[in-house]
Chains A and B, each alone.
Chain A
């Protein structure tokens, strides 16, 4: 047994063994009553620290603009201005004059302002985070704190942190980092999703207990059980070290009683296509097109979009690629598209709502690219619309496909119609699934958003993390209803949310009748193996019990009761 076991939420069904490296550790301030403070020297130290911090910010700004985008880099401009703020400089000067060491004077100078912004609404509260970042940067320089470079950690490191931003997570190298655990965050937080795409063992939302785990401690991050084992014993160590996941299954899989289930990959960038194929993906079940629109100053051209989809189709010559049309709004922002500030962005203008209006021009361009790629690419293309809530929206989207085809006719360009589908993400889409399925070839259930909307639980809010679980009976019944409605209309049904990639839930999903499961590439071998071990007849009976269950624990009993 480990010395201590901390519970959180597992982000990746993988375990990793390693040594703790704390990211952004507590800075220890000098004793403020130190009578030997040399005021002139402290003032000079403060001024030097500001210069060092400014140089760091400028270097990071350049690197971020290069790697992520100009919009993300702009935050560093704001940080420089906070660093140079005359009210801070004045307050630090006063503090030093009163006999404080420079670091304590800096800490005090920022304190009240941070508190002031913390109490404010929405985007104003983000300024508290900015000020905290700038303060901590100055304090680190002043106290000669070691800086942890997330991109250059020793092999076998397990990163522990209060939180990790997506750009922090992106720096982690899965070749050297054994995993991470954070105080905050839920299963569908960006850090967790990133961890899955990097196949990195991760546990999020551990809470304040994580703070007691010391630097250099040996730990096992068990992303499957959602636990962090501090001081693991020999058997726990061995199990974690041996957990490299299931072997890759190259060919398509069926259940023991012969029901074929397609296992596909969710892909966010063309660079991920080859990795998905290497992991044995039958095709792509969700090709997010947002990446084409990010990190740039203007929208991608029709040709650029055509090339990207073409590449996906050529990577899976015998498979199918399901492309989701542009899904922005909510938490996904694109600088040049002028998205409105909304008090409930997840309930606002996002997904198909924007594509029909105001982004109908972008939508037309995207559809023309997709129709051309259908004609030219090796694999089979399927196109689906995100966040559909009404039959009218679907009809309007299908009209836009007709219009795109007419444009290509006028231009004399070759095209073909892809098969068409709808993402089931809203409760409304579940209730009218029969009407939607009658008009298209397939439905694809997006469980992250569907769970959020069925349970009325924000997927980024760890305080309601328990509600954000697709094994609640409400969500299971919504899935069952959508699958049944689709099959009655001879449409096939896939699932492309995080739920699909959890091998513990494979039997339930196969039993509910899903024809396709699509997930982060990392779990494809595990899910393929799980499908091949499932008997559809048994799974179907269990799924009936699950959908009739009254509580989440009763649903989970049907899953774990073997």
Chain B
């Protein structure tokens, strides 16, 4: 099952250290291949901390997510939660 979703980033510092770590953790915890892309840019592997942080997404940017696998829906829900939670409210 392949699902797509576009999420606007809420954390003030964007996908900075802590939200990025939580993001990658969510991807590796689920059974799905996930890619992430900034609008107009090439998608990257969402399970790679290097790839995710190098996206350079800031607050207000949109991130396009594509998930393929049995957990596709669950992983997108979890990623959306992380991307829309202010950093200080984020529990790992």
Contacts and interface: CB of A to CB of B under 8 A. Distances in A.
Contact of B17 (A74, A84, A113, A341): A74
B92 A77 contact: yes
A80 B50 contact: no
A269 interface: no
A247 interface: no
B49 A81 contact: yes
Interface in A329-380: 335-336, 338, 340-341
B20 A78 contact: yes
A431 interface: no
The residue in B21, B45, B53, B88 that gathers the most chain A C-beta atoms within 10 A of its C-beta is B53
B56 A124 contact: yes
Contacts of B8: none
A81 B21 contact: yes
A120 B56 contact: yes
B86 interface: yes
Contacts of B86: 338
B81 to A, nearest CB: 17
A393 interface: no
Interface stretch (A85-93, A214-222, A529-537): A85-93
Contacts of B21: 74, 77-78, 80-81
Contacts of B87: 335
B24 interface: yes
A445 to B, nearest CB: 34
A134 to B, nearest CB: 10
A415 interface: no
Interface in A119-134: 120, 123-124, 126-127, 130-131
B13 A77 contact: no
Nearest to B47: A86
Nearest to B53: A127
A78 B18 contact: yes
B19 to A, nearest CB: 10
B85 interface: no
Contacts of B22: 77
Interface string A386-429: 00000000000000000000000000000000000000000000
Contacts of A77: 17-18, 21-22, 25, 92
Contacts of A336: 88
Interface string B51-92: 101101001000000000000000000000000001110001
Nearest to B51: A87
Contacts of B13: 123, 341
Contact of B25 (A81, A82, A87, A130): A81
A116 B45 CA distance: 17
Chain A's interface: helix, strand, loop or mixed, by majority? Answer: helix
B50 A340 contact: no
Range of interface residues on B (Cβ < 8 Å): 20 to 34
A74 B53 contact: no
B16 interface: yes
B18 A87 contact: no
Contacts of A74: 17-18, 21, 92
B48 interface: yes
Contacts of B54: 113, 116-117, 124, 127
A75 interface: yes
B28 interface: yes
B49 A82 contact: yes
A364 to B, nearest CB: 22
Given A86-B47, A338-B86, A81 B16 contact: no
Nearest to A120: B56
Contacts of A341: 12-13, 59
A85 B56 contact: no
A78 B49 contact: yes
B20 A81 contact: yes
Nearest to A334: B88
Given A81-B21, A131-B50, A87 B45 contact: yes
A85 B12 contact: no
Contacts of A82: 49-50
Interface in B1-40: 12-13, 16-18, 20-22, 24-25, 28
Contacts of B49: 78, 81-82, 84-85
Interface string A105-125: 000000001001100100110
A403 B22 CA distance: 43
Given A87-B48, A117-B54, A75 B12 contact: no
A130 to B, nearest CB: 7
A336 B54 CA distance: 26
A116 B51 CA distance: 11
B28 A85 contact: no
A75 B92 CA distance: 12
Given A81-B21, A81-B49, 10 more contacts: A77-B18, A78-B21, A81-B20, A82-B49, A117-B53, A124-B54, A127-B53, A127-B54, A130-B17, A338-B12
28 contacts: A74-B18, A74-B21, A74-B92, A77-B17, A77-B21, A77-B22, A77-B25, A78-B20, A78-B21, A81-B21, A81-B24, A81-B25, A81-B49, A82-B49, A82-B50, A85-B50, A87-B45, A87-B48, A87-B50, A88-B50, A124-B56, A131-B50, A335-B88, A336-B88, A338-B12, A338-B86, A340-B12, A341-B12
The 10 closest A-B pairs by CB, nearest first: A81-B49, A78-B17, A77-B21, A74-B18, A78-B21, A81-B21, A81-B24, A87-B48, A85-B49, A82-B49
